[in-house]
Amino acid sequence: MDIIKKVIVSEEEIAGIVERLASEINKDYEGKKIVLICLLKGSILFLTDLMRKLTVPCKVDFMLASSYKGGTKNTGKVEIKDGLSIDIKDQDVLIVEDILESGHTLEYIVNILNKRKPKSLKICTLLDKPKLRVADIQADYVGKVIPNDFVLGYGLDYDEYYRNLPFVGIINPKYL
């Protein structure tokens, strides 16, 4: 596939990451119920695979948030296009995110959710780019630290396409 320069997280590796993260979450939340908040659209595949491996009771809700406008650069301005339908007050909440880069979006969402007074609020991200971090935010559960290249696949898109790829790959620079 010409749009992919290099696969950096294979389908098999993703399955192993999901298994490991689910095991950590199951251990940490043993005896508790959690609310999983999926940040759409990129996290949907990760959420689906992750929640099938969870043994703790969980509810699921969604937020549509973005700081990209169809390109490869973060605009720095977060838009929330949809809110929660579940009351998270006094609930253990886990945000499920596809990729943590600058941290602007997650910082904004964490601030919004903390105002709703959850019992606890943690973050689980499939991919982490700590060298791009601008906001003072870290994930509690990290699947894999990756290089600062623009990536797509397994929910991550380029102009809304390529989310369906079963792996994560670096985009070919000629498309940027």
Dist. CA 155–CA 86, nearest whole Å: 24
Partners of 4 in the β-ladder: 171
For residue 168, with 0-12 CB atoms within 10 Å meaning exposed, 13-18 middle and 19 or more buried, which class applies?
Answer: buried
Q: Beta-strand (E) ranges in the chain?
A: 4-9, 34-40, 58-68, 74-82, 92-100, 120-128, 141-145, 151-152, 168-171
Catalytic residue positions? Answer: 101
Dist. CA 164–CA 3, nearest whole Å: 13
